[in-house]
Structure 1
Amino acid sequence: MPRSTPPREHRRSAGLGGALALAVAAGSLLAAPAAAAPAAPAPQAAPAAQAGVAQPPAAARGYAQRTLRRMTLEEKVGQLITGYAYGSSATTADPRNEALYGEGVATPADVVERYHLGGVIYFAWTDNVRNPSQTAALSNGLQDAALSSGAEVPLLISTDQEQGVVTRLGPPATALPGAMALGAGRSSTDARRAAAITGTELAAVGIRQDFAPVADVNVDPANPVIGVRSHSSDPQLAARMVTAQVRGFQGDAGVVATAKHFPGHGDTSTDSHVGLPVIDHTREEWERIDAPPFRAAVAAGVDSIMTAHIVVPSLDPSGDPATLSEPIITGVLRGELGYDGVVTTDSLEMAGVRQQYGDGEVAVRALEAGADVLLMPADPAAAVEAIHEALDGGRLTERRIDQSVRRVLELKHRRGVVQEPYADPDRVGAVVGSDAHRAEAQAISDRTVTVLRDDAGLLPLAAGARRVLVAGPGAGPTAALSAALGRRGHAVTTLETGTRPSDAALDAAAAGAARSDLVVVLTNKAWDRAVTDREGRQQRLVAGVVASGTPVVHVAVRDPYDVAHLPGATTSLATYSTTDVSMESVARVVTGEVAPHGRLPVDVPRADDPSQVLLPFGTGVTW
């Protein structure tokens, strides 16, 4: 049961919750022109009670020292773990929790109490994010569990809200362009505003850490795990966007930003979820390509950096992934880059970190390497047991544990989580998905759409209603684009084909194209013959509608690299995401309501010879 009187430093606010104080104050800020100064804090609010206002370092240090003195060793170890729990409320029992955490640990609150967790991460697949009000209530219930047991330290609740293709909180939360789209827009102001809106809405539901921005430089077009999650293949553009987003998350929204995945996951064709990638960059190449965005994040004061499960022999020849590498975490990140913030691992359930050692040993080695937070241990009980065995045997010391716990506690205090851990349920609806946020998101999205080519001069469309076929993978984007074009007076037929269209779908698309005045055909990773588009069926879809003789507009709704594999597509756009806001932007660009501003933030290589560039960095047709 919750305490009747929580400790003074984290009492539930009688009025506006701290996580919402900034959100409400930022309502006018986020709707204002880009150059507007941040709104002044409400005069009646004491500085220590304002989430989003960084607290004095001395106060954070004092809180951490006081708290450490009263914590047991078990409670300290718990602070170093960010886990997940199944359930839509803190008291929802789910057998999957007992399967993961042990007998009697049935609810999310049980998980927090049993393991003294320092953090919890939310996912849709764990049933944590059904809707904003439910999520806020879950957050408050979990905070009650944390504050009524053990060391009474509030949780740092997190999620991966990168926007674009990685979005955990769906509608009505505001959808914004992802990293590569922002790179295409080239606007640091837009990148910062996107992070500020995202962070403000996360804070409104009690999520105070975002595992964003991605700081990887995507120099491998075949990268299966990063791709459009990266801002650019250009290190300096990526660094500029990362800096802006760190400032938006932390300075404007007051949530913890996390630059990931150190030391750089952008040049690999292996997905670390299923394998262990090896990055063969020389030390000079790492300094030139991978390091700039992380150096920029450190300079911007990023609160947290996430490690990658990748091997980088030039930084550590041992063969260990960076997550378990003392030369990389302690030597390069802390020593050379001078970073003293919180280092979190990527998920310890991923195959890339589990290939060489057992799940308990992985936890110990990550701490030995210099990590502070263990994200999602695959076997939490084994991880905790292995840490205590390492302490008993002298591999780890309590002083080493205290070092990481102190960083975690100081961060929680500095970002106002200690002072105001709760969301204000009465204000969630006014913040999440507000009209002002959505309008600004649309304006930002409009500035990211890239016209890759328009060889026939088809765009913008001449005035007049048309019979339009919208075909391609994804019920969401095809429906959203069809609706957007329908609102503009066109008679639209929609054909959702999937990423591997059947023969029947290919025939239907060709027939529908012949009956139409215009075809808008979407592709999603049509370049990826190994996974997404085996047998080149999306490529055949585009070829079939082009062969009809009807004018065709191609839209790559994820990777811009698709255009190289579609020689018949003479008019081609890139949106970098499948969101409704991106599809509305396509309709605006195609019909001439807005001029396209996006420019390629990557090179698009030739399909027949990837060593040659088809469309160079900076390509973008406008009018």
Structure 2
Amino acid sequence: MRTRPVALLALAALSVTLLAAPANASSPIDSIVARMTLPEKVGQLFTTYVYGNDATAASPDNRRLYGVDTPAEVVKKYHLGGVIYFAWTNSLQNIRQITTLSNGLQAAAEGVPLTIATDQEHGVVSRMPAPATQFPGGMALGAGRDPIGAFRTGQVTGQELRAVGINQAWAPDADVNVNPANPVIGVRSFGSDPGLVATMTASQILGLQLGANTSAAAKHFPGHGDTATDSHTGLPVITHTRAEWERIDAPPFKAAVAAGVDAIMSAHIVVPALDPSGDPATLSQPIITGLLREELGYRGVIVTDSLEMAGVRERYGDDRVPVLALKAGVDMLLMPPNFDVAYHAVLDAVASGELTEGRIDQSVRRILALKQKRGLLTWTPLDPAAAEASVGSAAHLTIAQSVTDRSVTAIRNDAGLLPYPATGKSILVTGASAVTSLATALHATPLVTASTDEAVAAARDHDLTVVLTNNVSAGSAQQALVKALIATGRPIVVVAVRNPYDLTRFPEAATYLATYSTTAVSMRSLAKVITGGSAPRGKLPVEIPGLYPYGHGLTWSVT
């Protein structure tokens, strides 16, 4: 890796670390805390979703969950500290609608403006719709080995989020994906090498925060990369020793702390080597306070992963989880399954003496310091027309294409099939996903949701067939399709458009590429590699077990 970008990022990290210092006595935080009631303070601890594409739009879901009708009424009733956006709660139809929603919610936040957040990792976890600029996600960036590209990804993402009123990105994913069977992280991770993940994590944080004044959140502490259990549906147990945690999982979070990250998100995982109690990390005082606060020296906001997830609800009731998370040292409580129960559980814990108001004040101050640092305490309404003009700009789209062009990885080209001279040739694209997008980029024939027999027959009528795979399992229809196409003896290019581990299901494939992403920008980069418009530059950010090592990647000359 070149030293100059690393040096630049180190200087930027220093400046962000200085900015991350707690507010001093001359700040407005003391006066804000002094005038807040206990219910207002407790409300600041919660970030949750509200239903409606406009702040004043009534929804029966709000009535069912919160006892009021509109998003604005939810914000006022519970003195919310933050709101999180999803397409299924807020529509996220277009730039004007999102901006107008943000303005309305902020207007409803009496006293202290909201953090407005969304999961904008890109790739498989992306909430902002087109025309917002789309990037391919963590593992594709890891394949590109370009920290400046990661910085620019964060910068563009943050600028577009701020344009529509979203001031907090739940990104980047700082997990080191060392388990090919990981069902919940995979391509969300930058890769399996702790040094690579640490560099890219810090770079993207700096892009979001230094480049765009948007809060970043490194997730999922203390590291969700070595599990075959999804914490949305179960409680994973990570069997790393303390030494393995130090070597594998810790470096990206240490890099995030050094970069001055605004927030770190906890994981609903059990790590016996770090806490033998059996409690998930979100509820673990030894992990949240002992490890993250005291050993790593983190001073920013600690936020839970969603409290709706099964991993944090297996041992305790929904009334106990938020209280135990606060006792562990968490500051921000994300998406409790029964908001009213969670909110009043915290109030009751203060009334009973289980939590002190001083403890609540500690977290409120951290949250207010984050808001002050990002300029939210002096929030003013946004111009929807200006947002429409800036989001998805030509300059941003050019950056996204440039970053993505570095990511396509040529893993195998045994027959020298690529680059393929497409002029005068007929090309078929089929497979699991992104078929139409790639066919458009290649000016090829798309064959979507075809049976194996249909695909084989079509392949015999074309000069080249490109088959796209997406998380192939043993004995699946995807595996049967690829094997049948290879058996035709026709020129076949196999492309993994999500996890590159797919190659283990058909090691007989002679030509194999990986994009780590189904996005249109990735398909354009792939098309250029296939036809010789550009050379492949990606290197495997993970090992393909038994076949190819970390760092493998072919390239070739193009004219």
TM-score category (smaller protein): over 0.9
- The match for 1:221 among 162, 180, 203 is 180
Partner of 1:621: 554
Partner of 1:388: 347
How far does residue 417 in structure 1 lie from its aligned partner after superposition?
1.2
d(CA) in 1 for partners of 2:437 and 2:304? 37
Instruction: After TM superposition, list the pairs within 5 Å mapping 1:150-189 onto structure 2.
Output: 152-189=111-148
d(CA) in 2 for partners of 1:60 and 1:617? 50
Deviations 1:72-121, CA, capped at 9 Å, x for gaps: 0000000000010111000111111111112xx11111110111100000
State yes or no: 1:79 paired with 2:44: yes
What is the letter of the counterpart of residue 226 of structure 1?
I
Partner of 1:108: 71
Q: Residues 63 and 410 of structure 1 are in contact (CA less than 8 Å); yes or no, is this contact kept in structure 2?
A: no
How far does residue 59 in structure 1 lie from its aligned partner after superposition?
6.1
Deviations 1:232-268, CA, capped at 9 Å, x for gaps: 1000000000010110000001100000000000000
Partner of 1:143: 106
- The match for 1:522 among 440, 463, 468 is 468
Change (3 A) 1:60 1:441: farther
Partner of 2:436: 479
How far does residue 425 in structure 1 lie from its aligned partner after superposition?
1.5
CA-based RMSD:
1.6
d(CA) in 2 for partners of 1:569 and 1:243? 37
State yes or no: 1:368 paired with 2:327: yes
Q: Residues 220 and 266 of structure 2 are in contact (CA less than 8 Å); yes or no, is this contact kept in structure 1?
A: yes
Secondary structure of the equivalent of 1:92? coil
- The match for 1:505 among 437, 451, 462 is 451
Secondary structure of the equivalent of 1:586? helix
How far does residue 571 in structure 1 lie from its aligned partner after superposition?
0.6
d(CA) in 1 for partners of 2:252 and 2:47? 25
d(CA) in 1 for partners of 2:25 and 2:52? 32
Secondary structure of the equivalent of 2:202? helix
What is the letter of the counterpart of residue 510 of structure 2?
T
Secondary structure of the equivalent of 1:426? helix
d(CA) in 1 for partners of 2:301 and 2:20? 16
What is the letter of the counterpart of residue 316 of structure 1?
D
Q: Residues 136 and 518 of structure 2 are in contact (CA less than 8 Å); yes or no, is this contact kept in structure 1?
A: no
Q: Residues 525 and 558 of structure 1 are in contact (CA less than 8 Å); yes or no, is this contact kept in structure 2?
A: yes
Q: Sequence identity, in percent?
A: 59
How far does residue 393 in structure 1 lie from its aligned partner after superposition?
1.0
- The match for 1:352 among 303, 307, 311 is 311
d(CA) in 2 for partners of 1:359 and 1:513? 54
Unaligned stretches of 5+ in structure 2?
10-17
Q: Residues 56 and 414 of structure 1 are in contact (CA less than 8 Å); yes or no, is this contact kept in structure 2?
A: no
What is the letter of the counterpart of residue 316 of structure 2?
Y
How far does residue 382 in structure 1 lie from its aligned partner after superposition?
0.5
Partner of 1:117: 80
State yes or no: 1:569 paired with 2:519: no
What is the letter of the counterpart of residue 518 of structure 2?
T
Secondary structure of the equivalent of 1:615? coil
Residues 386-395 or 270-279, more deviating? 386-395
d(CA) in 2 for partners of 1:60 and 1:189? 36
Partner of 1:540: 480
Change (3 A) 1:329 1:471: same
Change (3 A) 1:267 1:61: farther
What is the letter of the counterpart of residue 438 of structure 2?
L
Q: Residues 57 and 414 of structure 1 are in contact (CA less than 8 Å); yes or no, is this contact kept in structure 2?
A: no
Say how many residue pairs are matched: 543
How far does residue 137 in structure 1 lie from its aligned partner after superposition?
0.3
Q: Residues 60 and 413 of structure 1 are in contact (CA less than 8 Å); yes or no, is this contact kept in structure 2?
A: no
Unaligned stretches of 5+ in structure 1?
1-33, 39-52, 487-491, 498-503, 530-534, 606-612
Q: Residues 264 and 302 of structure 2 are in contact (CA less than 8 Å); yes or no, is this contact kept in structure 1?
A: yes
Secondary structure of the equivalent of 2:198? helix
- The match for 2:446 among 494, 509, 516 is 494
Calculate the TM-score normalised by the size of structure 2. Answer: 0.95
Q: Residues 546 and 569 of structure 1 are in contact (CA less than 8 Å); yes or no, is this contact kept in structure 2?
A: yes
Q: Residues 89 and 128 of structure 1 are in contact (CA less than 8 Å); yes or no, is this contact kept in structure 2?
A: no
Instruction: After TM superposition, list the pairs within 5 Å mapping 1:222-371 onto structure 2.
Output: 222-371=181-330
Secondary structure of the equivalent of 2:534? coil
How far does residue 157 in structure 1 lie from its aligned partner after superposition?
0.1
Change (3 A) 1:511 1:276: same
Partner of 1:601: 541
Partner of 2:531: 591
Partner of 1:467: 426
Instruction: After TM superposition, list the pairs within 5 Å mapping 1:3-18 onto structure 2.
Output: none
d(CA) in 1 for partners of 2:391 and 2:484? 42
How far does residue 125 in structure 1 lie from its aligned partner after superposition?
1.0
Partner of 2:92: 129
d(CA) in 2 for partners of 1:184 and 1:98? 46
Partner of 1:97: 62
